Amino acid sequence: MHALKSATLAICACLALPVGAIAEGDPKPGFMDLITPDAIAGSVASVAISALRTQMEVEYDHMETDVMRGTVALSGVTLRPQLSYDRARQCEITLARVRFDIGKHRPLLAASNVSATAIGAKANIACLERDIGLMLRSAGYAEIEVDRLVYEMDYFHGSGEIRTNISATINDLATVDVAMSGAILPRLDRYGYAGDPAVRLHRAVLGVQDHGGWARLSQLMPENLRQPDIIRGIGTEELTNMLSQNGTRALTSTERRFIDDLMDHVARFVREPGEITIEAELPVGGIVIEPEVYQSPEELLQALAPDARSAPLAQSQLISSDLLSRTNGELTRAERLELAGALLEGRGLPRAEALVPELLAQMVDATSADGAQAALLTARALMPHDARSAYLHALIASEARLPEAVPLLDALEARMTTVAVIETQKAYLDDSDAVVGIDALPADGDVREVRRMALARFTGLGAARSYRLAYYYALIAEAAGDIGARPLREDIEARFANRGEDVTEMWMQTRAKLQELALKDWIELDLAARFGRSD
């Protein structure tokens, strides 16, 4: 009995001890640590890789996922694809690192982005078709090594435009760059159903830069065929046969010019290996290519009218040093606008939007076309870091009836509180010399003109946006019997609905004051007599 009592006391004492006194060790992860977003993303990526393994062997040393940035990266990757011409299964591709990105930040472009970047890629010759592999082996290539391979695609939600960039740097061979942008347009077939789409093409560029590939590959050709004039003649003959469909159709002047221009650059390349670029110089709005055009090489060439160049067209449009050296006040207004646009886009000189406001400060106004354009460019430059100042400049552009100002105002209001928007609009009107309120009402009693004034103030097209003035004019127009004023007034009131208590309280007070003011002006100035009609 005494022994049993002693054992019971010992067990109770052990249970009373802290857990740390019983067991030592590292802390264990909790349940929430196991279901983090990155852990879930890693599991999804692992499932995707498992699915890929049904088509090829896949091995990797490390995988990293980042949900907040939308990236998945694999390091030390080895791929062994199944190829119909590689019956011995000798093809092996290794990559030092490959990164997939679906969340690259596009602050002002409102675009979705998808990209894949591979660095340190190597593939043995067995991964290529036998004829191509034999040619490369004969030229001294034991493997194909790619320093960097990039594929990037942007989809712009507002226009539906798709921009694609592909770049591959192949060691001891060449660098290949492809850039295209366009939008897919719907088309109906002859039966009225959805058919092959058309394409609105904005840009098409192909560039190839030699990195020793020609010196190696040319050794496979007989000596007499390496001469520039011989290569030019052979290339002209082959292209002519292809585009003329073996002589069944006559070449157009565009096709002949392209062939001559391209083969001139090829001959120059053979003499001094460097770079060849084929680029279509398209208008600002692009061109529409119908299905029957892009399905026919000769018609596509006729539509694009590409140029063969030694460098991309952008390299011939760089901003001159003379223009940059005169930024201290010697620039004309047109030159300032040109330079500001280039600074915003990084076109022809390094991007530097922070310099735009100072560059255009002395010419911003709403009374001239270039002054309003300067205000618009300044607003775009200020938008990322100073929404209020950007909004003030966008109001100047809206007063000059620039249509680009309306979406800019909407985008800026999404970055500001409604209270701040109303205060900024009031501050702009207080500083301007514009005739507003009762003094701006038409003397001839045209009630539709009052509604037009309300709409202009509400949208910001043709007048500086002001919700207070828009509501005041809408109240007057509705009272005067305008049939379109009531829906407009309701739209203005809906602008302030469901935006929190602060906005609701502010709008209730503002609306009450505006209604009192409209009623006061209606009575004191006898607006009923001005807008009334007896017939």
Which structure tokens are listed for 188? 């109906």
pLDDT over 90 at 306, yes or no: no
- pLDDT average, residue stretch 462-475: 93
Q: Is 464 helix (H, G, I), strand (E, B) or coil?
A: coil
Q: Is 86 helix (H, G, I), strand (E, B) or coil?
A: coil
The pLDDT assigned to 2 comes to 55
pLDDT over 90 at 314, yes or no: no
**How confident is the model over 349-390, as pLDDT tens digits?**
888 889 899 989 888 988 889 999 999 999 999 998 999 999
Higher confidence at residue 147 or residue 246? 147
- pLDDT average, residue stretch 73-81: 93
The conformation of residue 14, written as its DSSP 8-state character, comes to H
Among all chains, which residue has been given the structure tokens 């002209």?
A: 236
The conformation of residue 329, written as its DSSP 8-state character, comes to T
Q: Is 16 helix (H, G, I), strand (E, B) or coil?
A: helix
pLDDT over 60 at 16, yes or no: no
Q: Kindly indicate the confidence band of residue 95, based on its pLDDT and cuts at 50, 70 and 90.
A: very high
- pLDDT average, residue stretch 447-460: 92
Q: Kindly indicate the confidence band of residue 21, based on its pLDDT and cuts at 50, 70 and 90.
A: very low
Beta-strand relationship, 62-66 and 56-59: unpaired
Region label for 414, one of left (φ > 0), alpha (ψ between -120 and 50) or beta (otherwise):
alpha
Which structure tokens are listed for 259? 């062939």
Burial of 373 (0-12, 13-18, 19+ CB in 10 A): buried
Which structure tokens are listed for 85? 């011409």
pLDDT over 70 at 221, yes or no: yes
pLDDT over 70 at 22, yes or no: no
- pLDDT average, residue stretch 501-517: 93
Distance CA 202, CA 161 (A): 9
Which structure tokens are listed for 131? 């004829």
Q: Kindly indicate the confidence band of residue 451, based on its pLDDT and cuts at 50, 70 and 90.
A: very high
Q: What are phi and psi of 2, to 5 degrees?
A: -65, -40
Distance CA 130, CA 485 (A): 76
Give the predicted TM-score (pTM) of the model. Answer: 0.73
The pLDDT assigned to 349 comes to 86
Q: Are 341 and 359 in contact (CB under 8 A)?
A: no
**How confident is the model over 343-359, as pLDDT tens digits?**
898 888 888 889 899 98
The pLDDT assigned to 106 comes to 57
Residue 324: what residue type?
L
**How confident is the model over 205-217, as pLDDT tens digits?**
999 999 998 888 8
pLDDT over 80 at 40, yes or no: no
Distance CA 282, CA 203 (A): 7
The 10 Å Cβ neighbour count of residue 277 is 20
pLDDT over 80 at 280, yes or no: yes
Q: Which of 56-70, 96-110, 221-235 has the lowest mean pLDDT?
A: 96-110
Q: Which of 322-331, 469-478, 487-496, 503-512 has the lowest mean pLDDT?
A: 322-331
The pLDDT assigned to 46 comes to 85
pLDDT over 60 at 10, yes or no: no
Q: Which of 17-26, 48-57, 156-165, 412-421 has the lowest mean pLDDT?
A: 17-26
Q: Kindly indicate the confidence band of residue 47, based on its pLDDT and cuts at 50, 70 and 90.
A: confident
- pLDDT average, residue stretch 286-297: 90
pLDDT over 60 at 20, yes or no: no
- DSSP codes of every residue in 174-196: EEEEEEEEEEEE--B-TTSSB-P
